[in-house]
């Protein structure tokens, strides 16, 4: 403990002291009692083994009574703040443990290794990993989403009631709750009753300070139950959909009045129906001034092996040389892979960049084309373009998904003569060739 700045006192129990903070450590007798534990994130918690209980000695519910420093409450994430010091201690103990129980977050149980990874940058003063300590879930027996655990920082917990319990509404609700928590943690203050919060659509606030922009949804802060605040949406739920409909109307010049973040949120939502599965990773390629900001999504495939890797952002603007009355105007790229990695995601991003830049005024990409890159991507230079699902974004224009299938240089002439579209459709539609299809992104490594 000395390397973390703690001194150890052993008497009636163990006391760890770091500056002005003291943590009492209690060793449990026997296995951890499972009654009242929330095991959603760690259902296979072992029944054997011992446990430690840590008590920080603070009373977050009465944060307003804490001593003032320079007219403000001491920041729990300051260099010597209680949460930074406490997180350092728990992250070290978690390396030798199995699970962490967050009592302030409804006794949620988290995998100790995952928890420790969330706290890995504590040495940096701007790093405030509040999401490690909180839990967002549906309150039992109600239609409320609740974000619990903020009392650990001397801040109120948060609640929000989606108007409709569907994936779009609950996603927006989760964004609003996490963004409100991020604001409170960063500003070291509770939100005020009747304060209006502008929440960027699709926002994913994390542990670092970030500039946020784009289209927003407005929420009003209301006083809720004791030690909690309620968020109430003010914006019309249909606004993002109507923005996209106006901007993407056929026969009209594209309007930038719809933010790329609105498009991305709509596309992510619609992708659930077009390619069922779960998004397990978001990769953000380096920004380019010449292109719309975009991300690459890594998704599982419901009932099938492999992963779907999909760009999200290129379709915000019409494809270069595309026609406004064409269903292929707004396009994203997709690939079916046996495994995923940041390098593979960035390769798909590079192909999207090539598609959207349209050097030399070439026609818009279409099924049956063979894209050729001057600099190899993952050791590959040729990629067949095939038709994928059309992703509807009603009432606006749909987005056309194009499959990207790697092609070896030695196969190029044979595939060109046989017909790239015929070759691609055989791979995509023949279940007996599924393994060959998903492994083609590994060809360049051989």
The reported pLDDT for the residue numbered 58 is 53
pLDDT tens digits along 107-161: 999 999 999 999 999 999 999 999 999 999 998 888 899 999 999 889 999 999 9
Strongest mean pLDDT among 49-63, 133-147, 249-263, 310-324: 133-147
Q: Which of 68-82, 116-130, 325-339, 432-446 has the lowest mean pLDDT?
A: 68-82
pLDDT tens digits along 401-422: 999 999 999 999 999 999 999 9
d(CA 240, CA 78): 38
Residue 171 has pLDDT above 90, yes or no: yes
The reported pLDDT for the residue numbered 66 is 47
d(CA 378, CA 343): 8
Residue 174 has pLDDT above 80, yes or no: yes
Mean pLDDT for all residues in the chain:
88
Name the token pair of 93.
Answer: 């103990």
The answer, yes or no, to whether the previous bond of 395 is cis (omega within 30 of 0) is yes
The reported pLDDT for the residue numbered 116 is 94
The reported pLDDT for the residue numbered 119 is 94
* Percentage of residues of the chain with pLDDT beyond 90: 63
Name the token pair of 67.
Answer: 């001593």
Query: Which of the 8 DSSP states describes residue 77?
Result: T
* Percentage of residues of the chain with pLDDT beyond 70: 91
pLDDT tens digits along 338-387: 999 999 999 999 999 999 887 656 788 999 999 999 999 999 999 999 99
- The verdict on pTM exceeding 0.95 is no
d(CA 187, CA 153): 12
Residue 75 has pLDDT above 90, yes or no: no
pLDDT tens digits along 207-263: 999 999 999 999 999 998 778 999 999 999 999 999 999 999 887 767 678 999 999
Residue 296 has pLDDT above 50, yes or no: yes
Residue 68 has pLDDT above 80, yes or no: no
The reported pLDDT for the residue numbered 69 is 41
The reported pLDDT for the residue numbered 113 is 93
d(CA 210, CA 37): 34
Name the token pair of 141.
Answer: 């027996």
pLDDT tens digits along 277-289: 999 999 998 877 6
d(CA 137, CA 160): 11
Instruction: Look at residues 219, 241, 206 and name the one whose alpha carbon lies nearest to residue 162.
Output: 219
Q: Is 5 exposed, middle or buried (0-12, 13-18, 19+ CB in 10 A)?
A: middle
């Amino acid at each position: 403990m000395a390397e973390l700045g703690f001194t150890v006192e052993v008497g009636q129990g163990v006391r760890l002291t770091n500056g002005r903070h003291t943590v009492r450590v209690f060793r449990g007798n026997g296995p951890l009692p499972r009654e009242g534990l929330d095991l959603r994130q760690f259902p296979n918690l072992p029944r054997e083994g011992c446990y430690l209980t840590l008590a920080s000695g603070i009373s977050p519910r009465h944060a307003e009574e804490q001593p003032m420093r320079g007219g403000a409450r001491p920041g729990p994430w300051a260099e010597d703040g209680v949460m930074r010091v406490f997180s350092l201690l728990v992250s070290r103990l978690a390396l030798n443990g199995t699970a962490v129980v967050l009592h302030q977050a409804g006794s949620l149980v988290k995998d100790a290794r995952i928890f420790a990874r969330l706290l890995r940058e504590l040495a940096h003063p701007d790093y405030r990993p509040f999401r490690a300590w909180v839990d967002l879930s549906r309150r039992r027996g109600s239609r409320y989403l609740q974000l619990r655990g903020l009392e650990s920082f001397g801040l109120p917990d948060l609640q929000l009631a989606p108007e409709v319990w569907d994936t779009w509404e609950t996603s927006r609700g989760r964004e609003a709750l996490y963004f409100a928590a991020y604001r409170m943690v960063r500003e070291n203050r509770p939100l005020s009753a009747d304060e209006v919060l502008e929440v960027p659509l699709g926002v994913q606030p994390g542990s670092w300070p970030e500039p946020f922009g784009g289209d927003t949804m407005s929420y009003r802060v209301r006083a809720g139950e004791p030690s909690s605040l309620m968020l109430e949406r003010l914006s019309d739920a249909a606004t993002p959909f109507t923005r996209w409909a106006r901007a993407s109307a056929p026969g009209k010049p594209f309007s930038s009045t719809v933010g790329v973040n609105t498009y991305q949120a709509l596309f992510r939502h619609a992708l659930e129906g077009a390619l069922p599965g779960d998004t397990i990773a978001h990769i953000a390629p380096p920004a380019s001034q010449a292109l719309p900001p975009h991300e690459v999504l890594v998704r599982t495939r419901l009932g099938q092996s492999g992963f779907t890797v999909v760009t999200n952002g290129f379709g915000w603007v019409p494809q270069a040389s595309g026609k406004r009355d064409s269903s292929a105007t707004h396009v994203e790229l997709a690939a079916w892979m046996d495994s995923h990695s940041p390098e593979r995601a960035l390769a798909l991003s590079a192909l999207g960049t090539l598609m959207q830049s349209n050097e030399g005024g070439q026609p818009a990409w279409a099924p049956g084309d063979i894209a050729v890159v001057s600099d190899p991507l993952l050791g590959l230079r040729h990629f067949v373009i095939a038709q994928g699902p059309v992703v509807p974004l009603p009432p606006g224009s749909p987005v056309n998904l194009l499959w990207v299938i790697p092609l070896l240089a030695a196969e190029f002439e044979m595939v060109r003569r046989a017909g790239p579209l015929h070759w691609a459709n055989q791979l995509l539609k023949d279940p007996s060739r599924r393994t060959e299809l998903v492994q083609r992104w590994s060809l360049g490594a051989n």
